[in-house]
Structure 1
Amino acid sequence: MDIQVQSFAVANLRRRPVVVETSGFVAGFTPDDDSPYLNYATPLPSAEPTERDVAALIGVFRERGLLTRLEFAPEAAPGVAPALRAAGFGTEAMHEYLVCTPHTLTAPQSADSPRVETPTTDVEYAAVDAALAEAFGGVFPPSAQGAARLRRTQQRGGAVRFVRTPQGDCAGGASCSPPAEDTAELSGVGTRPAYRSRGIAAAVTATLSGAMFAQGAGSVWLEYSGAGSRRVYERVGYQPQGTRLYLSLPPEQQP
């Protein structure tokens, strides 16, 4: 699964508005946002970069004034992490990823399960963006660009789903990328604090996964942030499969 997830990461970055490929790496950039979470690189599966290759990658980020940052499945390219660490890269995080298939998916069965919807209007996309911003503590501030990115995800073959509050606003939601390499990444599962522990995350996750399987994807994968969220995902059919590594070059070490 590591090779498949890493091949997906490459294909997904190649969808970015600006893509730069150097020896062994693909970098994707979002011109309207300088967030390191939207501007990063990933290696090709089985890449074995040289010191020169790493220096070239650093140069791609330096000329844009951005943090040099990578996300990847280390087991899919064992030679990459040592080469990056030798150049001064440090670890931001290592996350386990979970995988769901059509055979393991288990939709919530409770009669009280929240009703999951697809946003259709600008107001609804903005509401989902704002709810996710609140759910993640402002890591991604709500913005017109964020709402537009969610709409593009839906329009380009991915999926966005949400659950309404009793007042008609968004209580929580998530999005899933368009499939590539027979898999898709489900990300940004978030519930506003006032509406947690009501089954929203499980309902949204199961619905999004089912939507991808209906499009023919053989699996959906995601990363989780803690034991509580992992239990939610496991209840709807997600199982551990591997790890993803996040490395970046400290600003003071940028050449």
Structure 2
Amino acid sequence: MGKTILITGASKGFGKLWAKSFLERGDKVAATARKLSDLDDLVQEFGDLVTPIQLDVNDRNAVFEALKYANATLGRIDVLINNAGFGLFGAIEETTEEEARQQIDTNVFGLLWVTQAILPIMRNQGSGHIIQLSSALGLTGVATLGIYSASKFAVEGLSEALAAEVEEFGIKVTLLEPNGFTTDWAGPSAVKSKPMAEYQAVHDAFQSSVKPEDYGDPAATAPAVLELVDNDNPPSRLFLGKVAYPWIKSVYENKLEVWEGWKDVSASAHGK
């Protein structure tokens, strides 16, 4: 029996790629995008299997109405893929208030509104799988992507708490943590702060650290996501790409070493 999937941000990148993969095997997909015309190709190819929905995830009321409509149309929603979001490039000092607020509004509050809207639907069903698109940068920060990392760190904490809260309702939660991929995330979809000369060396160092082979093929993620959705006992976290796991493993080994070195000072701060 096919699944019913709701994917936000399905107009491009991972969202559209995964939507198409589900549709190709006969699943029903409610696909959201800011512009309905960006979903025309999916509708033309897959017809009634697609429920296109115009949605700006920053509009909380619109989110709740959209998910009610999707549930009424599909009959149920087995899986939510909370994919809508974008990248913000810039050193912390370079980032404007407007840029920072837009980043957090979309990547954190937009994801939160969609999560809140799906919960009564899945609770009533007694089942469901919420997949939150985080990032390897939700587990460690790198220079010039600090606000983006902050947004994904928030998604990590929110989703860990959510998993504990909804387990009794038969709802599972998975964080997807991709490394870099050759989507347009770092290109046309990205926002870039106005650079300051003082941080040019930081930007240059970041650019020189990026190697083409570190970026994965987006198409290769589709079988992994299908396997995740089909698993009756999905993991709480799943890296996508071959770079993320060894990189984050090294980062946390270093963190543990630092914590271990300061554990006596930490304990002394507790008092008696």
TM-score, with length taken from structure 2: 0.28
- Give the number of the structure whose residues are more often helix, by fraction: 2
- Give the number of the structure whose residues are more often strand, by fraction: 1
TM-score, with length taken from structure 1: 0.29
Instruction: Say which structure, 1 or 2, has more relative contact order (CA 8 Å, 6+ apart).
Output: 1
